[in-house]
């Protein structure tokens, strides 16, 4: 089963909230787990449309791995020039300023769920990296 399917099966409601309104909270949590870069996808006015984490040139949100094209289509971002790497501190500030955590909690998404979703994705990322490493080793032999 793909990681995306596992997440959606177990945490259907939480994933939906973390994709549409709570993406910054999830991106921050996944960043803490993976050390990946936090990306903001902005609209033409500079407003944040979606937040993700980029690790090893793969972009992740609460649904699992996503492509830039999927993000652009799903969230109405105009083009990739509106994408920016942001700091942990900036995301924390944006979450507080926009009261994102209040929105997430008002929709019955617990921090434990967010952490578990991030843990599942982090494990999948580590497994994928190990597979890539093993393939490189087998080609070198």
pLDDT digits 0-9 by tens, 47-102: 888 999 999 999 999 988 999 888 888 887 766 667 899 999 999 999 999 999 89
Q: How far apart are the first and last CA of the chain?
A: 31
Question: Hunting for tokens 């790497």 — which residue is that?
Answer: 85
Q: What residues contact residue 38 under an 8 Å CB cut-off, 6+ apart?
A: 27, 28, 31, 51, 52, 53, 85, 86, 87, 88, 91
Q: What is the pTM of this model?
A: 0.83
Q: How far is CA 127 from CA 8, 36, 88, 140, in A?
A: 19, 16, 25, 20
- Shortest CA distance to 92 belongs to which of 80, 84, 101? 101
Distance CA 141, CA 126 (A): 23
Distance CA 132, CA 58 (A): 13
Does residue 12 have a pLDDT over 90? no
Per-residue pLDDT tens for 91-125? 999 999 999 989 988 988 888 889 988 998 888 88
Distance CA 79, CA 73 (A): 10
Distance CA 48, CA 62 (A): 16
Residue 87: predicted pLDDT: 97
Tallying the residues shown for the chain, one arrives at 141
């Amino acid at each position: 089963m793909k990681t995306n399917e596992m997440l959606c099966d177990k945490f259907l409601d939480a994933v939906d909230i973390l994709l549409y309104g709570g993406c910054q909270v999830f991106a921050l949590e996944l960043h803490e787990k993976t050390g990946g870069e936090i990306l903001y996808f902005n609209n033409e006015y500079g407003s944040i449309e979606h937040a993700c984490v980029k690790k090893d040139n793969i972009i992740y949100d609460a649904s699992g791995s996503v492509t830039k094209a999927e993000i652009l289509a799903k969230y109405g971002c105009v083009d990739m020039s509106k994408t920016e790497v942001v700091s942990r501190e900036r995301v924390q500030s944006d979450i507080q300023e926009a009261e994102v955590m209040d929105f997430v909690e008002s929709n019955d998404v617990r921090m434990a769920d967010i952490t578990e979703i991030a843990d599942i994705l982090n494990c999948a990322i580590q497994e994928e990296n190990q597979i890539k490493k093993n393939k490189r080793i087998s080609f070198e032999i």
